[in-house]
Structure 1
């Protein structure tokens, strides 16, 4: 609730873009200058979706009941494109409600178009991570024979064997897998060091509650059996994924999305950054470019040579790191 709001005003007001709440209309207008451009863009995208949907429902009985050829028909294809653009604009709002709405749209796009001609599956894992719903992101979006998003409490410690074949590499998903492993790695570090963090706490439930407050995501809450997993194995998983990510993204920077790209190109790396940037910003490692540098530093501190990178390349990346990122790398490179 905004400062100065009384109980009589404690009801939500929403922007036209419908991804933020205010307790008073006066507070909404006070904040108008900061969200005007984004708000208008999202509003126009939403109006376009509503316009196309009204036309579809007026011309076709039950147009959303049959998804077999949804992309192949021009009217429904325009609808899918409009919804995809609307979701993209919602993500740019940087509001949790906007992210949740965008995720719901992308999931519905997958339901309507299982062939995923717009690449919604590349964005979904990072959005789950952004919202702290880690246990819902481990789904094989490339296998169209699986039931629609039928997944419950997957094992986040499973190896990343899928990424060993270059032709199978999906860079946005690899970045999300790396973030998932790093979050789990950090959470397990907190568990293993809990007595040092909270020496005055003796009640197990009290300690678990304190650790949960520090952990990002819901993995340990839903899969406590992972705590007993092989800690060294998980560390090795994080190392391997980090090395692959650093190898491919070491020269890429966050920028506007490319119009086209080829596999393994800098343009593909930039697109992966765009798809996963928000999720990284919600994590202890603040942005994708920092994560790459931290991953390289972590490998160097452990004496690991990253394939395709010379020592000079690694040194240049290390020298560009902030003291805080270097400390993150040292912490991740520790062996308990």
Structure 2
């Protein structure tokens, strides 16, 4: 396996020239940045539609939140101030549904801006929606792992996936009991076998994100291995050598593990990850036979106007929705789709 192209993480930058210093914020959408008014003016024709959509959805959300906070309650079906009295149970309270739909609409609109600030804001809204509605009737959980990967928060991504694939799949878990742990897994071993996560049916969105995370880790370790095999690097002082190698990995799961960075032999982890990626590829293909083909050859099917409003398990429409959420994360991980392509062409 070859190493991938240099990683270019999502970062705050001018929407026109990609400059990263002395940035000003679009006053309307508040998630697009520019280095100057001139560049903001030049970019207006490209940005105006997404900017207007975010502004419109934010105004609608503000309106729905104001109504909900002013709700006096009826003592039976609708509690007063559900933001205090119904946390975790939204959607089960009918009067909260317009608010939740409006907030989901804002998250969706922010995705069209597609900047670091927009992705970060999507994540803030998505996580708070899960706090308000633990059972996640709107399926916002399928978006969260890809957002975390795009922000290079890989450990949080793995912990999130593991919770939903374990506790979140427990038929005895009481979603209405606020005393139970919720999304409380921390620092789980992202290199561990996947058997406990793929047993039975799992959300396609979770499995898709798990495959990307495992591939990212695999590519990082291959890059470290290849650096060790370069004779010219081996003659430089060990401290300099380790400093160079520390910049090769992309995932903070590896960059923050000094023992792993300093070790020369990662062959065991590489073999294990290769096996896990193969297993995930096969599992996802069985779960949805359209997923990998759509990732490799998306055409216009991942554009928002082409995405369906509903889907059935294993359908082309399910693959459209899941990859619509995760496609940018795959693109922003150079080499990841090549791993899938090798699997796809080898079947």
Mark yes or no: TM-score above 0.5: yes
- The equivalent position to 1:64 in structure 2, one of 44, 69, 83, is 83
Quick check: 1:70–1:77 contact (8 Å CA) kept in 2? Answer: yes
> Residue 330 of structure 1 aligns with which residue?
none
TM-score normalised over the length of structure 2: 0.75
Q: Are residues 198 and 245 of structure 1, via their aligned partners in 2, closer, same or farther at CA, if it must alter by over 3 Å?
A: farther
- How many residues are paired up? 292
Q: TM-score, normalised by structure 1?
A: 0.77
Match of 1:151 in 2: 185
Q: Provide the rounded CA distance (Å) in 2 between the counterparts of 1:170 and 1:234.
A: 21
CA deviation map 1:130-185 (0-9, x unaligned) = 111111012212635563332332211112214544x5232111111111111111
Instruction: Pick from 121, 141, 146 the counterpart of residue 126 of structure 1.
Output: 146
Q: What residue number does 1:280 align with? A: 330
Tell me the equivalent position of 1:172: 205
1:1-336 map, 5 Å: 10=22, 12-60=24-72, 62-66=81-85, 67-138=87-158, 139=160, 140-141=163-164, 143=167, 147-162=181-196, 164-165=198-199, 167-197=200-230, 199-200=232-233, 202-224=236-258, 230-246=269-285, 248=289, 249-252=291-294, 254=298, 255=301, 256-285=306-335, 292-297=340-345, 300=346, 314=347
Q: Deviations over 1:82-104 (max 9, x none)?
A: 11110111112121110110011
How has the CA–CA distance of structure 1 residues 79 and 19 changed in structure 2, closer, same or farther, with 3 Å as cutoff? same
Q: Residue deviations 1:18-74, cap 9 Å, x none? A: 112223333222211111111111110111111111122223564312314321223
Q: C-alpha root-mean-square deviation of aligned residues, in Å? A: 2.8
Using the TM superposition, give the Cα deviation of residue 210 of structure 1 relative to its aligned residue in structure 2, in angstroms.
3.0
1:189 & 1:219 partners in 2: Cα distance?
15
Q: 8 Å contact 1:179–1:280 — kept in the other structure?
A: yes
Does the 8 Å contact 1:251/1:266 carry over to 2? Answer: no
Segments of 5+ residues of structure 2 without an aligned counterpart are 1-12, 73-79, 174-179
Structure 1 residues 49, 243: closer, same or farther in 2, change over 3 A?
same
CA distance in 1, matches of 2:101, 2:243: 43
Deviation of the 1:251 alpha carbon: 4.4
Compute the displacement of 1:121 (Å). 0.9
Cα shift at 1:250: 4.4
Aligned mates of 1:126, 1:198 — CA distance in 2: 37
Using CA pairs under 8 Å that are at least 6 residues apart, name the structure with larger relative contact order, 1 or 2.
2
SS at match of 1:118: coil
- SS of the counterpart of 1:45? helix
Are the equivalent residues in 1 in contact too, given 2:212–2:336 (CA < 8 A)? no
Deviations along 1:184-241, one digit per CA (max 9) or x if unpaired, are: 1111111222234583463445434433433222110234556666432222112221
